[in-house]
Amino acid sequence: MSGQARAEKQTSAKAAPSKQTKAVPKVDVPPEQLAYANLLLYCSWAGIGMLAVTFLIYMSGFFSPFIPASEMPMYWGMSAHEFLVETGAPIGWGWLGMLGYGDFVNLLGIAFLALLTIVGYLVLLLPAYLRKKDIAYASIVVVEILVLTLAASGVLAVGAH
């Protein structure tokens, strides 16, 4: 058994939800790190649950989809650019205006997961490092928030292929 596989095994055991309540830290863990861990603990599983529920809604046809699931095989072999041109699906945050459709409602769970890091940085880590007057890490957190916000904003253009 390689060292990395062994380390993965032990870290996987630490990461397993059933073990999380038993993982009593025997070392000093910074409070902001614990707070961030708790945010991820509750919100990541909530996001994954949201994905599963919205997907069931999509498959059940409870909300009519923008593109019926049965027609997706005509599109999933296209590039993302061709898909957008063929279907007229929105880019960027345009999907927020399409939440009445069963397929677009799935993006809520994905966006929730993708927003967690930004929220955690902004609400927990930045105030914590500012309180500690840890300018280096406060700066890293601010720049990371800007980078992630830029990525999330949808302003970054991608050329078609």
Residue 128 Cβ, how far from other proteins at the closest point, in Å?
A: 10
Residue 131 Cβ, how far from other proteins at the closest point, in Å?
A: 15
Residue 156 Cβ, how far from other proteins at the closest point, in Å?
A: 6
Beta carbon nearer to other proteins, 38 or 100: 38
> What is each CA distance from 128 to 71, 94, 103, 116, in whole angstroms?
49, 34, 39, 17
Beta carbon nearer to other proteins, 19 or 131: 19
- Distance separating alpha carbons of residues 50 and 106, to the nearest angstrom: 8
Residue 63 Cβ, how far from other proteins at the closest point, in Å?
A: 10
- Distance separating alpha carbons of residues 123 and 29, to the nearest angstrom: 19
Residue 142 Cβ, how far from other proteins at the closest point, in Å?
A: 10
CA dihedral 12, 124, 48, 158 (to 10 degrees): -100
> How many residues are recorded in the chain?
161
What is the b/e burial string over 30-57, where b = at least 16 CB atoms within 10 angstroms of the residue's CB?
A: eebeebbeebeeebeeebeebbeebeeb
